[in-house]
Chains A and B, each alone.
Chain A
Amino acid sequence: MSDELITADEMLTQIDHKPPGKGWMDTPVNIRKGMYCYASNPKSVEYLGLPNARPWNPMEDDWKLPDNWQEIVHNAFKDRLERFRSFKVFMDICVRCGACADKCHFFLGTGDPKNMPVLRAELLRSVYRNDFTKLGKIMGKLNGARPLTIDVLKEWWYYLYQCTECRRCSLFCPYGIDTAEITIMGREIMNLLGLNIDWIATPIANCYRTGNHLGIQPHAFKDMIDFFVEDIEEVTGLALEPSFNQKDADILFITPSGDVFADPGTYSCMGYLMLFHYLKEKYGLKVTWSTYASEGGNFGFFTSHEMMKRLNSKMYAEARRLGVKWILGGECGHMWRVIHQYMDTMNGPADFLEEPVNPITGTKFENACNTKMVHISEFTADLIKHGKLDLDPSRNDHLSVTFHDSCNPSRGMGMLDEPRYVIQNVCKNFHDMPANTIREQTFCCGSGSGLNAGENMEQRMAGGLPRANAVKHVHEKYGVNMLSCVCAVDRAALPALMEYFVPEVEVCGVTELVANALILPGEKERETDLRMEPLPGREEES
């Protein structure tokens, strides 16, 4: 042990207030604990048929790569440059203007220049120039080219898993370069060497086998819902009877499994159940849950196109099997990015489903005419707009709410106003965060794209800083005490972020707020909200 300790002299030389001023190519990667997720469980990698399943540790020198790893990367790079024109264009056209540089939450939070989107992409571009451009081959470093060494590969792995693929940077790029697509390609290539993380690989394996990220089997999934039904009965006095795998249902509902097991998503899950009960009682609408396609999230998106397609197909296969008219999707983040941007060309057209129409209001959801899948906030906003919900917003009077635009539903599919419309109809106190932190310009939670693990807490807190900073502002200025969102990863990640930076603020889903305000036919007078906290004015009775 004593051999590992540094001497006093060595220690003193390390206490230096200024970092060395080397260029980025000459600054070696320093893999730091707390800034990365654990390597994949080989069993999960093997189950998915991904290459090079073996135990490995990013902190050890030997990453146990195949002997011909450089050849594998070169060929995979070449293949993708040929298959994806956008990738080739993104490799070529960046002029390094720096417009994206200070737009990334990871750069703003960590202060590490290699987290500037331009530089993160440059990690790949430098190898692209070396391997695939004449100028790069001739001029080498002068042209920003460098060969792929093991240290460069480690740098790829470290920094491409410090990108949540949120696409805030691409919003500011004058050329429209989608840096997230570069991360996606980089991660795909690294997966061919078995360089994956467990927080992604194991959920995918579970989803592929059992239908959801957590490996909850159908009977256990139903048990969890039954558990919520008991809680709802305690709050409302009503015994709900949700439907599962019902063949003549109008709508199939799919939400992230995180809503079924993790607080505070569970309260939104109760909210969905209550909303569907209300619509059945009042309007005869039949919504069913599937214990087979029991996952909205799609971590395959963070691995490869093929894996994303494989997991996405399950939802549509189930919709076909049940013969529903269309699919309603819960509060999820990347599920919507996959649906909105990729589904139609991957698994579409879903021509066996109907173009979604709200049977209660007659509204045609034209934006979903190809995917046949409608977001719960669009659906709820439409019901409220047509006066179809009985609401008592005063039940949320103890809350002062702000809204975090989750990257994928906002930037990825353009849903900006619907959640706000819903919140403002079920809560009296709503305050938006500053303009450059919301809507299209929203800051990521810092834990998206499979980075919501525990071991990388420093990374998550640094990445979430810009978001927390804006929440702190509305907390101090308006007394905001609830951060609402429409994403299961947000609901899992933001509580820790708030606890660290703004502990006075809690996190909830939008449908939880709806269900608190929703007056169910025949319900008893409510004394608590869904968290079993006394409603405003009922504090003394509890």
Chain B
Amino acid sequence: MNLEKTLAQHKAAILQAWFDQVVETYPSDTAKMLKRRKDPFANPVGSTTRKGLEGLLEELTGRMEPQNIISHLDPIIRIRSVQSFSASQATGFVFLLKAVIRRRLQDKAPQCLHGEAMTALEDRIDRMALAAFDIFMQCREKIYALKAEDQRRQTAAALRRANLITEVGDKVPDPKNNNT
């Protein structure tokens, strides 16, 4: 059986193992809850993570559409970007998939472990990881933009209240006349 078919056959088990490893990047008490609660509204981190990983696995064994990959990565990274993770910890969960797949193949289909198909698969995972890093940077930039906007809004409101701001009027200055 080739790699593609093997992965399709073991997809559910691979997803479960990957999910378990990703949530174990949280402290153990938290990880237990993230695994246990199924309600997406009572457990937004767990359900968002599972849904995203499922989509990513689908793309990995499918068409690798960049937009789809981003749409599956974004919700997970958006959350991890504001949690107590470093950049490597926030994005490194993608690489965990390599070990998960290798371990599964080692047990069930060791003949698939070597060869071009496996190298290509790992390249795909690397591409996902690079996309994850881009998204992480966008999220961090957004956080800093929100902070800056917050400061700007406060200052602007204070200046307006103090009548220190004069907005431009309807009259357009005449460039020929330096006094306008």
Q: In the complex, what's the smallest C-beta–C-beta distance from A224 to chain B, in angstroms?
A: 7
Contact flags B149-175 to A (C-beta < 8 A → 1, else 0): 111011001000100000000000000
Is A496 a contact of B43 with CB atoms below 8 Å? Answer: no
Is A218 located at the chain interface by the 8 A CB criterion?
A: no
Is B92 a contact of A457 with CB atoms below 8 Å? Answer: no
CA distance A35 to B52 in the complex (A): 26
Is A434 a contact of B41 with CB atoms below 8 Å? Answer: yes
Determine the chain B residues whose CB is within 8 A of the CB of A469 once the complex forms.
Answer: 40-41, 44, 48
- Tell whether A261 pairs with B48 under 8 Å between CB atoms, given A17-B92, A112-B30, A113-B27: no
Residues of B that sit less than 8 Å from A by CB: 21, 24-30, 33-34, 37, 39-45, 48, 78-79, 82-84, 86, 88-89, 92-93, 96, 139, 142-143, 146-147, 149-151, 153-154, 157, 161
Is A465 a contact of B161 with CB atoms below 8 Å? Answer: no
Is A21 a contact of B28 with CB atoms below 8 Å? Answer: yes
Is A430 located at the chain interface by the 8 A CB criterion?
A: no
Determine the chain A residues whose CB is within 8 A of the CB of B154 once the complex forms.
Answer: 454
Is A17 a contact of B89 with CB atoms below 8 Å? Answer: yes
Interface residues in A424-443 (C-beta closer than 8 Å to B): 434, 436-437
Is A457 a contact of B150 with CB atoms below 8 Å? Answer: yes
- Tell whether A111 pairs with B143 under 8 Å between CB atoms, given A436-B41, A457-B150: no
Q: Among A111, A224, A465, A501, which residue has the most Cβ atoms of chain B within 10 A?
A: A111
Is B27 a contact of A461 with CB atoms below 8 Å? Answer: no
Is A454 a contact of B150 with CB atoms below 8 Å? Answer: yes
19 contacts between A and B (CB under 8 A): A17-B24, A17-B25, A18-B25, A21-B27, A27-B27, A108-B45, A111-B26, A111-B27, A111-B45, A111-B83, A112-B84, A113-B29, A262-B153, A434-B41, A453-B150, A455-B147, A458-B143, A462-B79, A496-B150
* Chain B residue at smallest Cβ distance from A19: B27
Q: In the complex, what's the smallest C-beta–C-beta distance from A103 to chain B, in angstroms?
A: 8
Is A262 a contact of B157 with CB atoms below 8 Å? Answer: yes
Residue of A112, A455, A466, A500 near B41 (CB, 8 A) is: A466
Is A454 a contact of B82 with CB atoms below 8 Å? Answer: no
Contact flags A81-118 to B (C-beta < 8 A → 1, else 0): 00000000000000000000110000111111100100
Determine the chain A residues whose CB is within 8 A of the CB of B89 once the complex forms.
Answer: 15-17
Is A413 located at the chain interface by the 8 A CB criterion?
A: no
Contact flags A451-471 to B (C-beta < 8 A → 1, else 0): 001110111011001100110
Is A149 located at the chain interface by the 8 A CB criterion?
A: no
Is A437 a contact of B142 with CB atoms below 8 Å? Answer: no
CA distance A15 to B151 in the complex (A): 34
CA distance A453 to B40 in the complex (A): 29
CA distance A216 to B151 in the complex (A): 18
Which bracket fits the contact residues of A? 35 or more
* Chain B residue at smallest Cβ distance from A501: B78
Is B82 a contact of A461 with CB atoms below 8 Å? Answer: yes
Determine the chain A residues whose CB is within 8 A of the CB of B151 once the complex forms.
Answer: 454
Residue of A18, A214, A455, A458 near B82 (CB, 8 A) is: A458
Q: In the complex, what's the smallest C-beta–C-beta distance from A501 to chain B, in angstroms?
A: 7
Residues of A that sit less than 8 Å from B by CB: 14-19, 21, 27, 30, 32, 34-35, 101-102, 107-113, 116, 214, 216, 220, 224, 261-262, 434, 436-437, 453-455, 457-459, 461-462, 465-466, 469-470, 473, 496, 499-501
CA distance A261 to B84 in the complex (A): 34
Residue of A34, A102, A461 near B37 (CB, 8 A) is: A102
Describe A's contact surface by its main secondary structure: helix
Q: Among A19, A30, A110, A455, which residue has the most Cβ atoms of chain B within 10 A?
A: A19
Residue of B28, B33, B34, B86 near A101 (CB, 8 A) is: B33
Residue of A110, A220, A434 near B161 (CB, 8 A) is: A220
- Tell whether A15 pairs with B88 under 8 Å between CB atoms, given A101-B33, A224-B161, A261-B161: yes
CA distance A455 to B151 in the complex (A): 9
Determine the chain A residues whose CB is within 8 A of the CB of B78 once the complex forms.
Answer: 500-501
Q: A16-B89, A17-B89, A112-B84 are in contact. List 18 more A-B contacts (CB 8 A).
A: A14-B88, A17-B25, A17-B92, A102-B37, A102-B43, A109-B44, A111-B26, A111-B34, A111-B83, A261-B161, A434-B41, A457-B147, A458-B82, A465-B79, A473-B40, A500-B139, A500-B142, A500-B146
Q: In the complex, what's the smallest C-beta–C-beta distance from B135 to chain A, in angstroms?
A: 13
Is B88 a contact of A465 with CB atoms below 8 Å? Answer: no
Determine the chain A residues whose CB is within 8 A of the CB of B157 once the complex forms.
Answer: 261-262
Is B44 a contact of A108 with CB atoms below 8 Å? Answer: yes
Residue of B28, B39, B146 near A496 (CB, 8 A) is: B146
Determine the chain B residues whose CB is within 8 A of the CB of A454 once the complex forms.
Answer: 146-147, 150-151, 154
Residue of B21, B30, B88, B142 near A111 (CB, 8 A) is: B30
CA distance A231 to B68 in the complex (A): 44
CA distance A32 to B89 in the complex (A): 16
Is B48 a contact of A462 with CB atoms below 8 Å? Answer: no
Determine the chain B residues whose CB is within 8 A of the CB of A458 once the complex forms.
Answer: 82-83, 143
Determine the chain A residues whose CB is within 8 A of the CB of B40 once the complex forms.
Answer: 469, 473
CA distance A499 to B29 in the complex (A): 31
Residue of B25, B27, B44, B147 near A112 (CB, 8 A) is: B27
Q: In the complex, what's the smallest C-beta–C-beta distance from A426 to chain B, in angstroms?
A: 27
Is A500 a contact of B42 with CB atoms below 8 Å? Answer: no
Determine the chain A residues whose CB is within 8 A of the CB of B24 once the complex forms.
Answer: 17-18
* Chain A residue at smallest Cβ distance from B37: A102
Q: In the complex, what's the smallest C-beta–C-beta distance from A193 to chain B, in angstroms?
A: 26
Q: In the complex, what's the smallest C-beta–C-beta distance from B118 to chain A, in angstroms?
A: 22
Determine the chain A residues whose CB is within 8 A of the CB of B146 once the complex forms.
Answer: 454, 457, 496, 499-500
